[in-house]
């Protein structure tokens, strides 16, 4: 069945243009004009991808993105931010809220389609998935997406955050660069520089949720990426 895409944008003319382009290329499209309607449509329609504007009536696009990513049933659905707001630092804020990619309007149809197809590629399963990994006092339960450290359990990591941690545990203590992490965790080659920033954002979020500093388990290796090493 053709992939279903939800577009959340209050500009009816723009929605119409995007719907026409996507429909011509075999996608099924559902629409919403407000953030609240977008969240409701996402829950009802279960789209494979969501295109989200940031300037929406009643509810900010950033808040919509965060709400969708905090919903366990929608956390794995890729969100492509498509906005006319090019404010400095906004892209990072969107990625920090869980967005998977970011484009500014106007955008060429070919570029939009390329980003959509990249995000829709079936994610590859993390190598060795299904096995529990232990690294010193750190235990990663793949099936339950559960982190246990020093007897304390952390079950609130998103699937991508857990996948990133699991991938680094598999190759510990060797580092992984951002592109390789994106390829292994997201299941595709990074479609843009913004995608590589997504890795950085997820690293920050893992550290925050596990209360690690940059000198604890998850270390930045200058020029080489990140590595997971048990503190000595």
| pTM of the shown model | 0.67
pLDDT beyond 70 at 28: yes
Domain ranges of the chain: 4-120, 133-228
Q: Which stretch of 1-5, 90-94, 178-182, 227-231 has the lowest confidence by average pLDDT? A: 90-94
- Residue 167 near residue 176 (C-beta atoms within 8 A): yes
Of 59, 47, 51, 48, which is closest to residue 82 (Cα–Cα)?
A: 51
Query: What is the mean predicted confidence (pLDDT) over 180-186?
Result: 86
Of 115, 95, 124, 127, which is closest to residue 200 (Cα–Cα)?
A: 95
pLDDT of residue 37: 97
Distance from the first to the final alpha carbon of the chain: 52
CATH fold for the domain made of 4-120: Rossmann fold (3.40.50)
Mean pLDDT of the chain: 88
CATH fold for the domain made of 133-228: Arc Repressor Mutant, subunit A (1.10.10)
Please confirm whether the linkage preceding 119 is cis (ω < 30° from 0).
Answer: no
Which tens digit of pLDDT belongs to each residue from 65-106? 989 988 878 887 989 999 988 777 788 788 777 888 889 998
pLDDT beyond 50 at 182: yes
pLDDT band at 198 (very low <50, low <70, confident <90, very high): confident
β-strand pairing of 28-32 with 4-8: parallel
Which tens digit of pLDDT belongs to each residue from 133-146? 999 899 999 888 88
pLDDT band at 3 (very low <50, low <70, confident <90, very high): very high
Query: What is the mean predicted confidence (pLDDT) over 171-175?
Result: 93
Contacts of 33 (CB under 8 A, 6+ apart): 8, 9, 10, 12, 15, 57
pLDDT of residue 129: 52
């Amino acid at each position: 069945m053709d992939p279903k895409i939800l577009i959340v944008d209050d500009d009816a003319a723009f929605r119409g243009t995007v719907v026409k382009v996507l429909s011509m290329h075999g996608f099924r499209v559902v629409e919403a004009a407000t953030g609240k309607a977008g969240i409701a449509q996402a829950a009802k329609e279960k789209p494979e991808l969501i295109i989200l504007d940031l300037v929406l009536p009643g509810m900010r696009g950033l808040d919509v993105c965060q709400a969708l990513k905090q919903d366990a049933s929608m956390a794995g659905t890729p969100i492509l931010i498509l906005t006319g707001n090019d404010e400095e630092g906004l892209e990072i804020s969107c990625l920090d809220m869980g967005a998977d990619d970011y484009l500014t309007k106007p955008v060429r149809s070919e570029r939009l389609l390329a980003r959509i197809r990249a995000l829709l590629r079936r994610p590859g399963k993390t190598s060795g998935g299904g096995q529990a990994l232990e690294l010193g006092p750190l235990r990663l339960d793949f099936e339950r997406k559960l982190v246990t450290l020093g007897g304390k359990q952390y079950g609130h990591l998103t699937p991508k955050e857990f996948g990133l941690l699991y991938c680094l545990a598999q190759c510990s203590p060797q580092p992984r660069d951002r592109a390789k992490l994106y390829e292994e965790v997201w299941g595709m080659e990074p479609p843009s520089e913004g995608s590589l920033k997504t890795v950085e954002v997820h690293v920050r979020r893992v550290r925050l949720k596990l209360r690690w500093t940059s000198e604890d388990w998850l270390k930045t290796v200058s020029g080489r990426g990140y590595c997971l090493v048990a503190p000595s």
